[in-house]
Amino acid sequence: MQSASASVRPAAVPQSSGDHWEWQYLALMRRIWAEGDERADRTGVGTRSIFGPQLRFDLSDNRVPLLTTKRVFWKAAAREMLWFLTGNTNIRPLLEQGVTIWSDWPLAKYRQATGEAITQDDFEARIVAEADFAARWGDLGPVYGKQWVDWPTYRYRADGLYERGPGINQVAQVVESLRSNPGSRRHIIEGWNVAELDQMALPPCHKTYQFHVAGEGAEARLNCLLFQRSCDVALGLPFNLFGAALLTRMIAAQAGYQPGELVWTGGDTHLYLNHAHLVEEQLSREPAGEPRLELLRKPDSIFDYRIKDFAVTDYTPQGVIRAPVAV
């Protein structure tokens, strides 16, 4: 396994010179390279990893943790979050909107099953053009949204067997419980269904969202704690932070609260060894600017938001930093 330590010298990159929220993200990157264990992993690429870090972000006044040291395609992250809320698990609706972030896993499965050396562009084009092909090869299994809005239940039958019962819409339940019982400690959306993990293209990384109401009346604030059991800090985390902030904002609006704080906690928090160039480039940049996320309307239901309902302002990021996904 190659060593990343020679590629990046954490002490040589800029250090925090202010209180911009993004410094904590860069400090996390730096800490992983300086202190992390070098580990073999499922993908065969290898990572450098730490366990249990925490980041905190203020969501008041439309603040949003959208990185400025590289461009994050926030509309793709927003479309992914809206897709989760539909309960859909097929990549076709995402591809129809130009979102390709989930293509790698079904593409790898197709290549392995058929032996066909199809390009990603051609695979995605077939998913969009052919409904039957999409149904067979574009589905990811019961990932994220399926668990969020249709968690399976089973009921006992008189003959000693169990049959499928009505699914549980965790998102709807959380919105309702926040309205009716704000002090509850059970405002949780859970994606980790142990019984169905082996059916998923990828088990949920950002697996548990817990919501908490602080304060009372018009000043009551909705906080969110996201636990992410596995975190690709370079590629995944920027999307996950924006998505969690957006979900918190939507739920806060629907339940009648001001946005409060997003608290992110990582389990295995890592950088891939083949991302050394990405890390070196990003750590050489300094955060600047304060992007804002505006919700332009409040629909009747959290499931009725559309991409046109969101606007990001004051976002002038530095250039894109591209890196390969480890599948």
* Beta strand pairing call for 47-51 and 258-272: antiparallel
H runs (alpha helix) in the chain: 22-35, 74-86, 92-95, 104-114, 120-129, 131-137, 144-150, 170-180, 236-255, 276-283
Tokens of 117: 């050396």
* Beta strand pairing call for 54-58 and 258-272: antiparallel
Nearest to 8 by CA among 285, 284, 287, 237: 284
| Inter-residue contact 45 to 273 (CB < 8 Å) | yes
Instruction: Find the distance separating the first CA and the last CA of the chain, reported in whole Å.
Output: 17
| Inter-residue contact 91 to 108 (CB < 8 Å) | no
Catalytic residues: 205
Tokens of 145: 């949204």
* Beta strand pairing call for 310-313 and 37-39: unpaired
Q: Return the axis-axis angle of helices 236-255 and 74-86, rounded to nearest 10°.
A: 60
Q: Residue 272: which residues within 8 A CB-CB, separation 6 or more?
A: 43, 45, 46, 47, 232, 234, 323, 326
